[in-house]
Amino acid sequence: MKATYHNYILNFKQASGTSRGVLNVKETWFIIIENNGKKGIGECGILRGLSCDDRPDYEEKLNWTCKNINLGKDTLWEMLLEFPSIQFGVEMAFLSLASKTPFLLFESDFTTGKKSILINGLVWMGNESFMKQQIEEKLAQGFKCIKLKIGAIDFQKELDLLHFIRQNFNEETIQIRVDANGAFSSNEALNKIKQLTGYKLHSIEQPIQKNNTDSMAELCKNTTIDIALDEELIGVFSIEEKEALLLKIKPQYIILKPSFVGGFRGTKEWILLAKKHKIGWWITSALESNIGLNAIAQFTYLQQNSMPQGLGTGALYTNNFECPLEVLDGKLWYNDTKKWEFDFEKFLQ
């Protein structure tokens, strides 16, 4: 068995804004395992400035992982605890290698095209007219849940956008989630949440920056809108630490990105703890290519969570890999009549 790693730069079709800045490109890495003529592929997706494994020794660790691939999936997972995106890539690559085809990791009614996954439509930050245009597009595309990135433009303009939606659609028709990406200060967060309350929102993600656990616990206790932890989960490795965090903050929801929380195994640990403590959860991509998104979607379907998941990111890039995933009427489908446009030999040249 041998393994190699490969850098790949994904180019956004249009600049995508968050409260942490504007994204034009997304760097990702692929691990390819070869054994007895078969190949498997896994994606190690990091977001610069956000992933806990965005470190100077990242490529060095990828190189070490490939050289030690014979240790196997489980041993490597334990040894890569501080590199959750590599844990995910290795886990995915081994599943890919063992599968009938490299991209069919978890067979189900989803991969045969019988069932779909309900997803939210993502509205990126930008000026008011750009955000309004995106909202109108998502509603026209049949999404029943939309997620707005907030915290970068004038707050009153963001309230006006929410008013625009609610003028036309009530909460039974369209569910609205907002994601502040930690943009609010601890002092202003509760007041801003109260101002948002009249718009009948489903939830607000990460209203304040991570590692302010006392303030976040206080917010979750007093909030008028359900709070979902996202960035807060990054860099929390052991089951004991995970449970301690949930018990202290007591969030209404947690959001799980396999690239950030240690792949499928790490995601399952969070799900078990969330169920134990009656905390809601859903899964989202972390802007992976279609290779990573495909693996996450297949895994997500098996978890049988009826809430809208955050998996509608496949059309963001100009140089993504064509695949069977497609979005129709606010749902993610696996159209097995569409083929993967990925050539291992060409990619490895």
Greatest Cα-to-Cα distance within the chain, rounded to the nearest angstrom: 61
Burial 105-117 (b: 16+ CB within 10 A, else e): bbeeebbeeeebb
What are 322's two structure tokens?
């064509």
Catalytic (active site) residue 100 = no
Note the residue count of the chain: 349
Q: Directed axis angle between helix 84-98 and helix 58-67, to 10°?
A: 30
Catalytic (active site) residue 149 = yes
Active-site annotation holder among 26, 61, 138, 149: 149
- Name the phi and psi angles at 308, rounded to 5: -60, 130
Q: Which helix (H) or strand (E) holds 28?
A: strand 21-35
Active-site annotation holder among 61, 192, 242, 257: 257
Q: Is 310 exposed, middle or buried (0-12, 13-18, 19+ CB in 10 A)?
A: buried
Q: Evaluate whether 105 touches 92 at the Cβ level (below 8 Å).
A: yes
3-state secondary structure at position 122: strand
Q: Which helix (H) or strand (E) holds 292?
A: helix 290-303
Q: Which residues are catalytic?
A: 149, 257
